[in-house]
Structure 1
Amino acid sequence: MIVHAPYARMLGIRTVAGEAGAATLMMPAAPSLEGRAGFLYGGVIASLLELACLEAVAQESGHPRPKPINMSFDFLRGGMMIDSYAQARLVRVGRQVVNIDAICWQTDREKPVAIGRMHLLLD
């Protein structure tokens, strides 16, 4: 769903199989995504987390166009120029607001590159 958005296509993001009840996306490394030498630009890591959150909402609650209230990302280590994965899970779905947690990793899910939280207003 969200992987068909122009920005997601530009980043090369695609859906991959993951845990039940969670949306998992993969972003292949590309020279155009490099920030400082040898590392992914932090903005594309944050974008991967955001898109995973939006995908989780679309898959789990059926709301294709929620409106962001706020986003928070914690960068835990530098993202190397290798494929990156993000998984998002709905924490709470209220009548108007949904809370989502996301994690981004590369080779080892137990060593995250970044984590994120997002709150979205449902239509």
Structure 2
Amino acid sequence: MTLPDQLPPYAAMLGLRQQGGALVMPYDVSLIGSPGRLHGGSVAGLMEIAGNLAVRAALAGVSAQVKPINVTVDYLREGALEDTFAEAFLMRIGRRVANVRVEAWQSDRNRPIAAARMNLLIVRQTAA
């Protein structure tokens, strides 16, 4: 997955980069929520962008916008003050809606800190 230029400014603020099939959000002091913990919003943002990119990759060559319908995040454990990874799994893609599952973890991929389920609207561009 290559990071496209059209990512929202929030992705740049999070400092997201690609590493293998995952997105990495490098730790930064600006991501602290409660003392000693990552802010849940930054984790949710990382996961939403990972899901969006998975749908865009599946639509390669198709001109379309991808917009969130709903995003549900389950926070499974505290996020430590370290790099956070996320990987999205496309569960189903239809003509208008995609269903995506995303997992976020830190030092141990087998101990996720959050899991998300997303439904994304696919707005295909028509020739004018």
Is the TM-score greater than 0.5?
A: yes
Larger Rg: 2
The residue identity in structure 1 corresponding to 2:11 is A
More helix by share: 1
The residue that corresponds to 1:21 in the other structure is none
Report the counterpart of residue 43 of structure 1 in structure 2.
Answer: 41
How many percent identity over aligned positions? 43
- Would you say the 8 A contact 2:64–2:122 is kept in 1? no
Distance in 2, Cα, partners of 1:54 & 1:67: 8
Question: Per the alignment, in what secondary structure is the counterpart of residue 49 of structure 1?
Answer: helix
Report what 2:80 is aligned to.
80
Is the contact between residue 106 and residue 113 of structure 1 (CA under 8 Å) also seen in structure 2? yes
8 Å contact kept, 1:68–1:121: yes
Alpha-carbon separation, structure 2, partners of 1:2 and 1:101: 23
Alpha-carbon contact 1:3-1:13 (below 8 Å) kept: no
Q: Deviations over 1:56-82 (max 9, x none)?
A: 111122365212111100000000000
Once the two structures are TM-superposed, the CA of residue 106 in structure 1 deviates from its matched residue by 0.1
Residue 9 of structure 1 corresponds to which residue in structure 2? 12
Q: 1:9 to 1:3 in 2, by over 3 A?
A: farther
Amino acid at match of 2:36: G
Please report how far the alpha carbon of residue 5 of structure 1 lies from its aligned counterpart in structure 2 after TM superposition.
3.0
After TM superposition, the score normalised by the length of structure 2 is 0.87
Question: Which structure 1 segments of 5+ residues have no match?
Answer: 19-23
Any stretches of 5+ residues in structure 2 without a counterpart? 124-128
Counterpart code for 2:46 = L
Residue 39 of structure 1: how far off its partner (Å): 0.6
Tell me: CA distance 1:3–1:109, structure 2 relative to 1, closer, same or farther (3 Å): farther
**Alignment root-mean-square deviation, CA:** 1.5
Report the 3-state secondary structure (helix = DSSP H, G, I; strand = E; otherwise coil) of the residue aligned with 2:104.
strand
Q: 1:64 to 1:14 in 2, by over 3 A?
A: farther
Aligned residues: 118
Q: Which moved more, 1:54-63 or 1:97-106?
A: 54-63
